[in-house]
Chains A and B, each alone.
Chain A
Amino acid sequence: MDIQYVAPRTLDEAVRAFAAAAGAGRILAGGTDLLVQMRNGVVAPGTIVDIKKIGELTSIEETKDGGFRVGAAVSGAVLREHAKLSKVWPGVVEATNLIGSTQVQGRATPGGNLCNGSPAGDSVPAMVAAGAIVTIQGPNGRREMPVEKVPKGPGRLNLEPGEIVVSFTLPPRGKGSSDAYLRMIPRTEMDIAVVGCGVSLTMDGGTCTAARVGLGAVAPTVLLVEEAAKALIGSKLDDAALAKAAAACSAACRPIDDKRGTIAYRTKVAGVLLKRTTLIAAERAGGK
């Protein structure tokens, strides 16, 4: 079967081409998932819509309120080179740059990572913790959605036919705020998260005043763990608070036994990573 490849210059054209291809269309951002899936015979798209020629999808800009808008097709390497973004959202940037090798980081994008729909995507828990808002455009126009609402299940998304993820909006950061991401992999690199944990928080005089926790690879979708955040907020991140938040993470897990890890292992490690990630984020935010 022949494959049609289109690389539109505008989002409207991209949406039209994607919608026209109906179920046979696939979006190509970095291609680090799509091309591998095509080679392995997992997918056989009729139309490939390359979104890397569209300005809005490949740029990073500061928003008027002091936040950031990150195009869905910006590569991890470009993200990392953005000095201010790396300073304000180090967790988001480090998570995106854990995907694959150095070569892969030159291609792989947060939009692709989200839309691949894997619960183990590294950038997703960090984006969830960051409270990123996703801008989506489709045949019926533009809409916004919290990032954690996008995945529906492994490989499935809450997007309408023809809809394309355009960008992630990261909110402005107050003083004493930072984030971090840690994942457990058996190797040191070139691996897929067995558990991933993103934490974003604000510290004020040694007290945690705001927090969000994202957990990956422990359920059919990446989780926003509000109970864990509640355990951290108002505390001085003492052992008791961390233990309570870790327990909340373990309790939120609904993992599977598979070739990458066991239920028992993932459940326990979710709590361990929560503690470690929280302390890194707090350190970056100016200390406990």
Chain B
Amino acid sequence: MTTNTPDTANDNKWIGKRTIRPDGADKVTGRAAYAADTTMPGMIWGKVLRSPHPHARIKSIDTSKAEVHPGVKAVMTAKDIVNFPIEKSVMLGIQDMRWMCRNVMAREKALFAGHPVAAVAATTEKIAAEACKLIVVEYEVLPFVIDVEEAMKPEAPILHDFIRFKDKPSNIAGTLEHRLGDIGEGFAKADIVIERSFRTQPVHQGYIEPHACLVSVSDGKATVWSSSQGQFMVRAMCAYLTGLPQNDIRAIPAEIGGGFGGKTIIYLEPLALILAKKSGRPVKMTMSRAEVFHASGPTSGSYSTVKLGATRDGKLVAAQGTFCLQAGALPGSPIRGAAGCAFAPYDIPNVHSFGYDVVSNRSKVAAYRAPGAPIGAYAVECVMDEVAEALKMDPLDFRLKNAAKQGTKAAHGPVYPRIGFVETIEEARKHAHYTTPLPKAGKGMLYGRGVASGFWFNAGGESSAQVNINEDGTVVVITGHPDIGGSRAATANITAELLGIDYKKVSVLIGDTSVIGFSNLTGGSRVTYASAMVVTQSTERVITQLRERAAKIWKIDPDAVVWENGEARPAGDNAGKFEPLSLGQIAAQASATGGPIGAGQQLNTMGAEGGFATHVCDVEVDPDLGIVRVLRYTAVQDVGRAIHPSYVEGQIQGGAAQGIGWALSEEYIFNKDGKLDNPSFLDYRMPVSSDLPMLDSVILEIPNPKHPQGVRGVGEVPLVPPLAAISNAVYDALGRRFYSLPMSPPKVLATMDMAAE
């Protein structure tokens, strides 16, 4: 499976080892407690009434019949949520509370089919659903627009009167621009210039666990159990939207059934909190799969144009990109990821990258694994393939010739430190996958190979940790981020390594907002990176204490004590002759030597350097049915240091699998009334396991010089190259380029037939 097990694993006892995941047994036996598994005495059920219209002014809402319906305990509308006026932006991370307050419940207008307009809490789910039907909403139905290109046209229905672009009402809510050099001069030097336009469909994160929460309010203090990528985010957003101070909200993270960015914002929690406050009863809310599809964030659909210029000897001299991304109903599409990451893998002297944030009548987008970056990379990496072909160069050689390296100035700002992009290309080029010939066309099947590369920023940010030595010498580590990618196992590996003790003696827990300091959410491929830093510093402080305690027992200077292999030892013969003291022995004497042993650290972590990957993909195309199957897939990635290689591979495979779905089969299908027609996993076609070959991951370790273990973020860059790698492979098989995703069977067949005519 892994063709390249990190060498450094051998230098360590635990870091780099495939330790048993601490959450594994609970998950396979069904004991793991997800948000929907939480119940309380006296609990009642909340349900959301959603707009049937994609765009409508809400003239009035009459909840009187629902309120007196037997079994109903509380009814709420947008009136009950703190209003953030349009005039003033209030930011929480990348989220603007003006949009969040209007996303969790429609205020002036319903902006997409499925937009919440009211919510009911009742003694049973059924009564709550019945009561929703008793709420009378008077709508003024307005013309709607779904598609990004349509929404940008001057005659398009306008979603928000307050959005203006170039002094006119517009659906263009924002722009972002990166410039480097002078593209005019750059293209003038080019021997080959290729410009193409591309379309992608919005795709959902596809987490298996739908959104769910349970909220109890007692004596004005709220406790929130929910499935999210950040309990502190849940607390802060609930505080903003309900007006409670943060100390009156305790947010408890449940085990999470997937997020992929989609759970970095909230939907149900503030509604349940308000209903709980009104009713005096704990309120549980869960979304159905259809609600997840209708109303929770996918990532943007897009329309992009990319132009590349190269000299005859294969050097890129200019690049221009325009990336128009659907934000959904409210501003905030990931244009930074699209425009910023698109050209980041390459050393190009002249770059102009421009992003448009465009609103339309569909659910507000949420983060999805390297938000925006796959969209940018799809366009750029497909044009790279065409330029390489025009130059008669191997596509990997072309990338290698232009690869960014230490010292390269990127258009989005930084000058790169030591990065491992070149190594990913070199590794892909010599990999057995790339050197093995494709199967020969036969039995009506055609075969093709494609490559693509990708970049993701990665993130650091705020993290807190506490490392406590128990009385029996075992260790408990508490961090503040939900574990969706293996952070508990990675943290245990690091702690065991530093302390020199058995991995099994370390338990890692995720603290709720009342027991651990602020920790930013699980996103941006930041958690193993950032928690490793705070856990390392905490553990180093613990080791200092352990040396001090041993010194006290031996009555020598702490500087004369070293910590080795899980034991305190005299630093040398001059320090005196003492039998080593184990962690257990020191812990047993902790009370006598100064009290409990433990330490915490809180940091705003810096130095998370970007991640690079290069993917190789082989496809088989059935030209008569238009079916594309991925036959072989190899993802090469520089991960800095793989703390837990199995999890790293899992992240790489998962990203590639999601990319295959995005490229070949996933799409939102809207009916003529502007309502989503395929809100289920049956017709929203994510790949199933039998659709995929074993996805081979090659881990490269070029350590991040700014991190104690050399870690770079891992989880997001695997979704950046696949769209183009697959698209380029389909071209190689069919001799025909596709400029729009997904390359679904009807589309492939229609394009083939067009070519034949």
A interface with B by C-beta (< 8 Å): 184, 186-192, 194, 259-262, 264-265, 268-269, 272
Q: How far is the CA of A262 from the CA of B745 in the complex (A)?
A: 10
Is the pair A184, B625 in contact by a Cβ cutoff of 8 Å? yes
Q: Complex: how many Å from CA A9 to CA B690?
A: 40
Cα A158 to Cα B683 in complex, Å, equals 29
**With A259-B669, A259-B677, A259-B678 as contacts: A269 and B625 at CB distance below 8 Å:** yes
B184 contacts A by Cβ under 8 Å: no
CB distance from B601 to the nearest CB of A (A): 47
Determine which of A184, A190, A269 lies in contact with B688 in the assembled complex, contact meaning CB atoms within 8 Å.
A190
Known: A259-B678, A272-B624, A272-B625. A187 touches B746 (CB 8 A): no
Q: How far is the CA of A186 from the CA of B681 in the complex (A)?
A: 13
Q: Considering the chains assembled together, what is the distance between the CA atoms of A264 and B757 in angstroms?
A: 15
Query: In the assembled complex, which residues on chain A have CB atoms less than 8 Å from the CB atom of B750?
Result: 262, 264-265
Kindly state whether residue B156 has any CB partner on chain A within 8 Å. no
**A189, B629: Cα distance in complex, Å:** 13
Provide the bound-state CA to CA distance between A190 and B687, in Å.
10
Known: A191-B685, A265-B746. 20 other contacts (CB 8 A): A184-B627, A186-B627, A186-B665, A187-B685, A187-B687, A188-B629, A188-B690, A190-B688, A192-B682, A259-B669, A259-B677, A259-B678, A259-B683, A262-B750, A264-B746, A264-B753, A265-B750, A269-B624, A269-B625, A269-B749
Chain A contacts of B683 at CB under 8 A?
259-260
Which residues of B are in contact with A by a Cβ distance under 8 Å?
Answer: 624-627, 629, 665, 669, 677-678, 682-683, 685, 687-688, 690-691, 744-746, 749-750, 753
In the bound assembly, the distance between CA atoms of A63 and B685 in angstroms comes to: 43
Contacts of B691 on A, CB cut-off 8 Å?
187-188
Contact A187 to B625, CB < 8 A, known contacts A259-B678, A265-B750, A268-B749: no
- Chain B min CB distance to A256 (Å): 13
User: Can you show 5 pairs from A to B with CB atoms below 8 A apart?
Assistant: A186-B665, A188-B629, A265-B746, A269-B749, A272-B624
Q: How far is the CB of B432 from the nearest CB of chain A, in Å? A: 25
Q: Give the docked Cα–Cα distance between A199 and B456 (Å).
A: 52
A189, closest chain B residue (CB): B690
If A186-B665, A189-B688, A269-B625 touch, does A261 touch B746 (CB 8 Å cutoff)?
Answer: yes
CB distance from B688 to the nearest CB of A (A): 5
Bound CA span A209–B405, Å: 70
- How far does the alpha carbon of A194 sit from the alpha carbon of B627 in the complex, in Å? 12
> Contact at A265–B745, with CB atoms within 8 Å?
yes
Query: Does the CB pair B745–A188 fall under 8 Å?
Result: no
Residues in B with CB closer than 8 Å to A272 are 624-625
Q: Which residues of A contact B745 (CB under 8 A)?
A: 184, 186, 194, 261, 265
User: In whole angstroms, how far apart are the Cα atoms of A32 and B431 in the complex?
Assistant: 46
C-alpha spacing A259/B675, complex, angstroms: 13
- Which residues of A are found within 8 Å of B687, using beta-carbon distances? 187
> Which chain B residues lie closer than 8 Å to A187 at the CB level?
665, 685, 687-688, 690-691
Residues on B with beta carbons closer than 8 Å to the beta carbon of A265: 626, 745-746, 749-750
Complex Cα spacing A106 to B506, Å? 44
Q: How far is the CA of A272 from the CA of B745 in the complex (A)?
A: 13
* B749 and A191 contacting across the interface, CB-CB below 8 Å: no
Give CA–CA (A182, B383) in the complex, Å.
38
Least CB distance from B61 to A in Å reads 24
**Cα distance A259–B742 in the bound complex, in angstroms:** 13
Closest to B681 in A: A190
